[in-house]
Structure 1
């Protein structure tokens, strides 16, 4: 059976009338010949008011578009998805994507233009919103100190914020694509993996503390918030990591803990020392009376007296640690304090075949301090240096400015040195590397320096010696002190 012929005119009319896109037929003379219902709905203009009019008169603000479009059509035969804005009869503008095709006669001459306009207002609004969010994100990213990263379920880094460059000293290009655990301290890897696996299972935000390696080789204490990103099936797709450097906070906590230990030790020492000192005085006095008749037993009495003296020294250390405040601050020259401290230890150094060298004073270095207490610190450190140099040698003492507001005093020996794993324990109460030490000498020194708003650090290598650095605030010299220094 013969199929009925398709009525193309009816088909085109139906297609135009039911199209969701705004369709316009414009003559070669720029006169509008036809608009469909979607055109009327989009622009708020009825066919009766626009058909027969010059298309340029409808949107005078867009007249620059038309010559460009005509030229483009002559060159490429069509303009595809040209994005522009058109004002409507409702008083607002819409974003439109235009596709313009020429309609030619049998001789190839352009008789009209078919324009198809699609409303992309919502699409453009979303693009602008996305650009605003991206711009805001870049602004936030560039101004926060926290480091932000996005990792996959396997731990591979897909994104890293620019703050990582200052955070770890590593370029972002060297971070993205790597595995997150590559920068974690070996001792923290297993714990980090357990927390990561638990997050994938529990699908809840969690907190992690670990150490990350800086490009220069040292380790940073880092606190990281780990937040899962879920897919449509409720599974963890990726994880956002927001990391913060807490190295200074940890150091402050350690100093506070050490100060609390010293306070407790001081209170305990004060209570015990006062209880022990009185009977000890009596024992020591009667012992000295007995010492008058020690025929054949001098060695025993010498040992007993030495141990009694040691007990008294320990009690003295406890009492020193118990003193809550240091009074009598005055402005002193760091060089003069060092000279006095060295003179106290010169005889003992000479007995151990040790030379103490004080660098030549370069400038007046004023420190506001309790002179006796600060001398106690220097004497203690020099004494430790002497005791570490069983074969003699040289102890070098120097002082210099460390920035505009600090003075650094360095005491360097040629002793046995201390292993790197023991250095962090120095200065803690009861910790000592000496066979008969009490562990209170450096603890008392730390307390004195704390009262002076100073700090003490150690650099040492076994068999090569130790350098003790003491940093104290530099103060403004008094006029009389400056004059006397001259």
Structure 2
């Protein structure tokens, strides 16, 4: 064998590099022959992130492969050479106990370059200086190429003049005669014909051409995906093309499976009604569309990089820190917590969050599934309030019955005694007045205890409010309060129990008057909103403390010195019986606004 053939044999030996990658994705070790393979020295790579050298299109493949111990095939990916070009690598992976984290595992990589055999046909440094083509010996070179495991052939301006055994096997040929003499384009998909001819032309013009992926047809008609490397060499005294093929059909299929799996997983995430996100170093590094809507962000980029504590309620900060820490430290594999998020000054949402460990480019992170439970929480609060009302009603009924019996006796004996103490009539008037007040309170208690017979009839809401205003105008004037009415329509016809609804507005008007001991204006507005009627009662009082607004309507809750908390509770109950609702807005120091929303029957404008 001549000297050139010996050099070929030396170069074609597989060069393997060993590397150790820590559980957080950094190079910890690289074998000394890395410079020969990828141009980097030991010091160039140690401590650097693997992801910084991987082609962007292969990052997902690396993520799913390097950090999943259940792999079945070698991993194929592109790695950036020191000269800036990307080189195709094939790596096998083993896992060992991590030297950084007790819970993690380091990754041992055995790496080889897929186009290793491309190297063997490159010009030696001496020949590069002399600008000479590499020459393959006619006898020993042929024998050497024939037994190479990589499929290759030699062509002259596209016409095949030599094939090795591996190339025959790749195309399903039983003899060289089936292939020699044919043109390269005879085996290539029509879409690549012009590309192939152009590459041959450029190669003979001395230009460097890169690796290309093509679809070839075997002799039996089966299509295969190959990666093609082309070099110019000399064969039997003529300049020819040396073509090396790598069958990437399995890799393509594997990548398609991975891509489909990724797309399926991505669709599940994108279409999930729950918020799914990834938290890394207390920041959102991923969040799905539902999360963008939940936090009312303008778009997806607006959420990326945002600190998770920005929207989290202050009271939940410590709980969130403990939850994330338990996942990141490995103390818990799953963590379920409840928290509240402040979206704006007017809106707070409540959520249930499941935390599980994950990785983000090799670093520990937390994947969260966040479910909006605001409606469920409101339902629970309504159920709790209903239960309180039920208990209060039962308690009120017992108290009312126990008091009413002795009260009847006291009142009866006082009526008998009254004629004998005519000189003290004024005292009896006071006693009877207070007894009547006690009876009225007892009647209110009994309203809570049992459903009252309601008589619904068509009623003009505006007229009803005018009657209540007239009734309370005297009391309002005594307190330097004026009642101003603002009606969008003269007639607003609704179906209601007139007496019960009068009681509602009497309670609301009296509360508004009592809220302004120094005088002021009570504004009463009636409006139409789609299929609802709105009655708004505003005062200019001191307002209601923020911590009490959500509790308004609870039994015995009052801000008045002599109040018993029953008026608003009865008001809420009556409106609920009329299929309506009451909402409250209040600013301390500026006043409060109660809005009663009710369905209306016939609506007429006059």
**TM-score, with length taken from structure 1:** 0.86
CA shift, 1:6, in A, is 6.6
Could you report, residue by residue, the CA deviation over 1:321-366 in whole angstroms, capped at 9, with x for unpaired residues? 1233663333433323322322332232233222111113436433
Could you report, residue by residue, the CA deviation over 1:127-182 in whole angstroms, capped at 9, with x for unpaired residues? 33343344445544443342221013x42322122333321123443432233223
Q: Does structure 1 residue 391 correspond to structure 2 residue 521?
A: no
CA contact (8 A) 2:357 2:365 kept: yes
Q: Which deviates more, 46-55 or 430-439?
A: 46-55
Q: Aligned match of 2:155 in 26, 29, 37?
A: 26
Q: Which deviates more, 391-400 or 137-146?
A: 137-146
Measured at CA, do residues 340 and 142 of structure 1 come closer, stay the same or move farther in structure 2, by a change above 3 Å? Answer: farther
Match of 1:45? Answer: 173
CA contact (8 A) 1:77 1:101 kept: no
Match of 1:168? Answer: 295
CA contact (8 A) 1:210 1:222 kept: yes
CA shift, 1:320, in A, is 0.9
Match of 2:29? Answer: none
Measured at CA, do residues 12 and 314 of structure 1 come closer, stay the same or move farther in structure 2, by a change above 3 Å? Answer: farther
Alignment of 1:249-260 (within 5 A): 249-260=376-387
Measured at CA, do residues 17 and 369 of structure 1 come closer, stay the same or move farther in structure 2, by a change above 3 Å? Answer: farther
Match of 1:121? Answer: 249
Corresponding residue SS for 2:594: strand
Cα distance in 2, alignment partners of residues 304 and 279 from structure 1: 15
Q: Does structure 1 residue 56 correspond to structure 2 residue 56?
A: no
CA shift, 1:52, in A, is 2.1
Match of 1:177? Answer: 305
Corresponding residue SS for 2:547: coil
Measured at CA, do residues 263 and 217 of structure 1 come closer, stay the same or move farther in structure 2, by a change above 3 Å? Answer: closer
Q: Which deviates more, 291-300 or 37-46?
A: 291-300
Corresponding residue SS for 1:431: coil
Match of 1:197? Answer: 325
Unaligned runs of 5+ in 2: 7-136
The count of aligned residue pairs is 471
Match of 2:88? Answer: none
Q: Does structure 1 residue 436 correspond to structure 2 residue 583?
A: no
Cα distance in 2, alignment partners of residues 41 and 300 from structure 1: 122
Cα distance in 2, alignment partners of residues 94 and 366 from structure 1: 79
CA contact (8 A) 1:77 1:102 kept: no
Cα distance in 2, alignment partners of residues 270 and 207 from structure 1: 43
Match of 1:155? Answer: 282
Match of 2:196? Answer: 66
CA contact (8 A) 1:34 1:51 kept: yes
CA contact (8 A) 1:326 1:370 kept: no
Match of 1:314? Answer: 441
CA shift, 1:81, in A, is 1.7
Measured at CA, do residues 395 and 32 of structure 1 come closer, stay the same or move farther in structure 2, by a change above 3 Å? Answer: same
Match of 2:77? Answer: none
Corresponding residue SS for 2:393: helix
Q: Does structure 1 residue 218 correspond to structure 2 residue 314?
A: no
Alignment of 1:84-483 (within 5 A): 84-103=214-233, 111-152=239-280, 154-170=281-297, 171-200=299-328, 201-215=330-344, 218-229=347-358, 237-291=364-418, 305=432, 307-324=434-451, 327-362=454-489, 364-402=491-529, 404-477=530-603, 482=604
CA shift, 1:5, in A, is 5.3
CA contact (8 A) 2:340 2:348 kept: yes
CA contact (8 A) 1:95 1:120 kept: yes
Corresponding residue SS for 1:63: helix
CA contact (8 A) 2:404 2:439 kept: yes
Measured at CA, do residues 357 and 82 of structure 1 come closer, stay the same or move farther in structure 2, by a change above 3 Å? Answer: same
Q: Which deviates more, 261-270 or 204-213?
A: 261-270
CA shift, 1:318, in A, is 1.5
Cα distance in 2, alignment partners of residues 172 and 340 from structure 1: 56
CA shift, 1:409, in A, is 1.2
CA shift, 1:268, in A, is 2.9
Unaligned runs of 5+ in 1: none
Could you report, residue by residue, the CA deviation over 1:10-64 in whole angstroms, capped at 9, with x for unpaired residues? 6644553343432111122x32112222222322223231122233333463534
Cα distance in 2, alignment partners of residues 433 and 298 from structure 1: 36
CA shift, 1:300, in A, is 7.1
CA shift, 1:230, in A, is 6.7
Corresponding residue SS for 1:85: strand
CA contact (8 A) 2:189 2:215 kept: no
Match of 2:115? Answer: none
Cα distance in 2, alignment partners of residues 325 and 129 from structure 1: 68
Corresponding residue SS for 1:79: coil
Cα distance in 1, alignment partners of residues 313 and 383 from structure 2: 25
